[in-house]
Structure 1
Amino acid sequence: MSHDIIKVSRNTENAPTSFVSTQTVAFSHYNNFSAQLPVDPKTGKIVAGGVAEQATQCLNNIKAIVESIGHVMDDVVKLNIFVKNIADIALIDEVYTGYFQAALPTRTTVQVAALPMSEALVQIDALISNGEGTAPQAACPLIKVSRNTENAPQGLFSQTAAFSHYNNLASQLPVDVKTGALVAGGVAQQTEQCLNNIKAVLESIEHTMQDIVKTTIFVTDLADMEVVNQVCAKFFPGYVPARSFVNASALPMGALVQIDTVVSHGDGTPPQLPEDTALLVIEANNTENAPVQPYSHTVAFSHYNHISGQLPLDPKTGAIVAGGVNDQARQCLSNIKAIIESVDHVMDDTVKINIQLKNIADLDAVNDVYTTFFQGELPARTVIGVAEIPMGALVQIDAVVSNCEGTPPQA
């Protein structure tokens, strides 16, 4: 692959626009979408009605963006659904399934403390397959491969959707596949069940836990992080993927933990040839210029780098920086910048940013800092409000970065 693969940032007037994000950023074989609120693009206001009407508007906005770049909704690989009330999921499901004609995407569903507009009940972001690639790649009729196994919980989603060199798994709850109920015990037992479900999905497609590139772990109590990390260590000996923790206000079925995973897929999807791609290497890197973590700072595979969630920690002291949310946001972004530069990239290679805020009202202050870190078109972005962030921080940020050089043996 060429080192000159181009990042393509696009907006359409048929969906809400923002001065702090791009609606969709394509790089190589994926499009990364900004989270869509239930905003009517003509009025700029939240649509009237309840959660069903709001979910419809979110999905209509995603559909408008998808169609503006010559794609269809069945090209969606993954959806992340953030709700104010987890009980609303049944109503959202009634709307959601009507947008897809073929296999459903993989999915993550979580209740959060707040969304960027106070009247919003739901927010949805998306990852879209991009078979044509981005210039100078030649268009290729790659196939999205959606699969399920009876050895892991099933639902209104695909357990795994592979496209090109990545698998995106549905978030796994601590559900015993034999009973359909949450496993007995506390967060340790629940974390182990989540990871066993992930392992079952991976084994069903002839992959292993060592193929995981990034985990996002949703917990209802941040005090459980240490226990979760201890259980994760059993499943990731030697190599630890990038990781972000998110404080969920609630999870489906009343679970204590839910785990989302991004998986390398060296064999690619047809018509890519396994013998040409199976030896792609996962490249995990850390730098002393960012805070020490019990997991990798960045994990690259093929044409993407996945950056672990960054807290506003001074890497020299390991403590939260002094000041307010403005200073903390600057430190988070500085840590991301240090990681990106340590692997010979720049901030404008970023395709997606995810921001957690302790107080959603701080978003304007974060935006003032945020825009100064980019010289070109801004990445796609998702913002959620959470009740708590590790170490009492006011903000935490993670990122997905383009990786035009690929990972060996790509040239």
Structure 2
Amino acid sequence: MSAYNAVLPRNTDKAPKNLGAYSQTVAFSHYNNFAAQLPIDPATGKLVSGCVKAQAKQCFENLKTVVESIDHIMTDVIRVSIFVTNIKDVDLVDEVYKSYFPTYLPTRTVVCVDALPLGASVQIDALLSNGEGTIPNAPQAGDLVKLTNNTCNAPIDALSTQTVSFSHYNNLTAQLGIDPKTGRLVEGGIKAQTAQCLKNVKAILESIDVPFDDIVKINIFLKDLADVEAVNEVYTTFFPDSGIARTLGYVPARTIIPAKSLLLGALVQVEAVVSHGDGTPPQLVEDRHGLIIEPNNTDKAPKCKYSTQTVAFSHYNHFSAQLPIDVKTGELVAGGVKEQTEQCLQHVKAIAESIGHKLEDTVKVNVYLKNIGDMEAMEEVYKKFFPTGAPARRVVGVGALPKGALVQIDVILGNEEGTPPFTK
């Protein structure tokens, strides 16, 4: 990648030093991708003492420090992702959250997972706008408007905005299977809840005049992995949605993330990242299909009929989660977490190269470990693929993964060339 629109990793000594080969924040085009913040006191390098409330405050302080180190403010946050190890702690975390977002509310995802690095009770990461962009002297630099939207046709949350648009992306708050009319989970089990999650996503998109097939990435948080087949059965009734998408067989990139528990005792939660072809002012209003969504699959990595390996839109590529599957056999590779991490990252590398990119274009890596105790072994292999530590990163322990895997990895890449009709 040239210096024209380069991956820009940044770190500050005022926030905790990283636990591995990653950067605190990585800017590319009009977004800053943040590494997940743990409740580490930067002065001691250790977890702060006290309850989850104290830990949450330290996470947000660390986040705020990194935000300010790149001359941004907390209202530039587009999305906040909160991971806890006890779902009952969410109310306490929310008390702290409100003090950092007293008026403006970003989109939000809350998940209870099995474990977090260092035995932390909470971990928080964020996505920020980057109005100045990384394209030198871009005419819209610093002037882009952030657009927020809520509709009564989907559940309204007092702590988040349903969708926040900035530049050429919409990020949605994770949707539970809540009926917006009653404010309660729908009855009927996993299929009914999955359908309601996706109906809520669709209602939000319709409220901002964006087609359902403009979704580029879906994250599904699932209470029980045994429910995957039931989820997929419902999923195929929503994707593809339009005639064009059905003709092309388009499905977005996708990651399934096991959750220890979800709010309201839900069985499933769906998070969507959506293209926004018309951009946000003062970008010119274009036909939203003028910027083309570019899906891609390669035979050098595992394929799945429910997802596309990578979907490019504007200046980002969103990858589906990669499992440590041998492409030739369709089975998990032999060995432990090192071998499996190697295989996952080889798939990522193969997909990146299939679209003319390199691993150096990576801006964010999400690692899901069956056993958080495998972090050191995972890190040993990870450093071989990312020796400069440029991407931002999130690591969580999820207790179980599809096919009994020990690790699962998804990534986001910069897309310097953009998608048509834009060129450098």
Q: Which TM bucket (shorter chain)?
A: over 0.9
Quote the Cα distance in structure 1 between the aligned partners of 2:122 and 2:13: 21
Q: Which moved more, 1:196-205 or 1:98-107?
A: 98-107
Give yes or no for contact 1:351–1:402 (8 Å, CA) kept in 2.
yes
2:217 is the alignment partner of 1:214? yes
Quote the Cα distance in structure 2 between the aligned partners of 1:98 and 1:363: 32
How far residue 277 of structure 1 moved from its aligned partner, in angstroms, is: 6.3
Give yes or no for contact 1:153–1:175 (8 Å, CA) kept in 2.
yes
How far residue 137 of structure 1 moved from its aligned partner, in angstroms, is: 4.6
2:24 is the alignment partner of 1:12? no
How far residue 276 of structure 1 moved from its aligned partner, in angstroms, is: 7.3
Quote the Cα distance in structure 2 between the aligned partners of 1:140 and 1:41: 30
What residue identity is the alignment partner of 1:270?
P
Structure 2 residue corresponding to 1:317, chosen from 326, 329, 346? 329
Q: Which moved more, 1:134-143 or 1:326-335?
A: 134-143
How far residue 278 of structure 1 moved from its aligned partner, in angstroms, is: 5.3
Q: Which moved more, 1:72-81 or 1:373-382?
A: 373-382
Equivalent position SS for 2:286 = helix
Quote the Cα distance in structure 2 between the aligned partners of 1:359 and 1:275: 46
Partner of 2:254: 243
2:161 is the alignment partner of 1:158? yes
Structure 2 residue corresponding to 1:202, chosen from 201, 205, 215? 205
Q: Deviations over 1:134-179 (max 9, x none)?
A: 1425223101111101111111100000000000000000000000
Equivalent position SS for 1:332 = helix
Q: Deviations over 1:357-399 (max 9, x none)?
A: 0110100000000011125442100000011000000000000
Q: What are the ranges of 5 or more consecutive residues in structure 1 without an aligned counterpart? A: none
**Aligned runs of 1:275-354 on 2, under 5 Å?**
275=286, 279-294=290-305, 295-354=307-366
Structure 1 residue corresponding to 2:283, chosen from 266, 272, 276? 272
What residue identity is the alignment partner of 1:197?
N
Q: Deviations over 1:36-88 (max 9, x none)?
A: 00000110111111111111100000000000000000000001100011111
2:88 is the alignment partner of 1:76? no
How far residue 292 of structure 1 moved from its aligned partner, in angstroms, is: 1.5
Equivalent position SS for 2:202 = helix
Q: Deviations over 1:252-294 (max 9, x none)?
A: 0000000000000001011111137651010000000001212
Q: What are the ranges of 5 or more consecutive residues in structure 2 without an aligned counterpart? A: 241-245
2:392 is the alignment partner of 1:372? no
Quote the Cα distance in structure 1 between the aligned partners of 2:227 and 2:211: 26
2:402 is the alignment partner of 1:390? yes
Equivalent position SS for 1:313 = coil
Q: What is the identity percentage for the equivalent residue pairs of Structure 1 and Structure 2?
A: 58
Give yes or no for contact 1:354–1:381 (8 Å, CA) kept in 2.
yes
What residue identity is the alignment partner of 2:274?
V
Quote the Cα distance in structure 1 between the aligned partners of 2:11 and 2:388: 14
Give yes or no for contact 1:6–1:136 (8 Å, CA) kept in 2.
no
Give yes or no for contact 2:296–2:310 (8 Å, CA) kept in 1.
yes
What residue identity is the alignment partner of 2:44?
T
Quote the Cα distance in structure 1 between the aligned partners of 2:273 and 2:342: 27
Give yes or no for contact 1:194–1:259 (8 Å, CA) kept in 2.
yes
Structure-2 change in CA distance of 1:204 and 1:276 (3 Å):
closer
Equivalent position SS for 2:26 = strand
How far residue 17 of structure 1 moved from its aligned partner, in angstroms, is: 1.6
TM-score by length of 2: 0.95
Q: Which moved more, 1:192-201 or 1:140-149?
A: 140-149
**Alpha-carbon RMSD:** 1.2
TM-score by length of 1: 0.98
Partner of 1:404: 416
2:157 is the alignment partner of 1:146? no
Quote the Cα distance in structure 2 between the aligned partners of 1:396 and 1:110: 17
Give yes or no for contact 2:383–2:389 (8 Å, CA) kept in 1.
no
Q: Which moved more, 1:322-331 or 1:273-282?
A: 273-282
Give yes or no for contact 1:348–1:375 (8 Å, CA) kept in 2.
no
Give the total of aligned pairs.
409
Structure-2 change in CA distance of 1:100 and 1:6 (3 Å):
same
Quote the Cα distance in structure 1 between the aligned partners of 2:389 and 2:418: 22
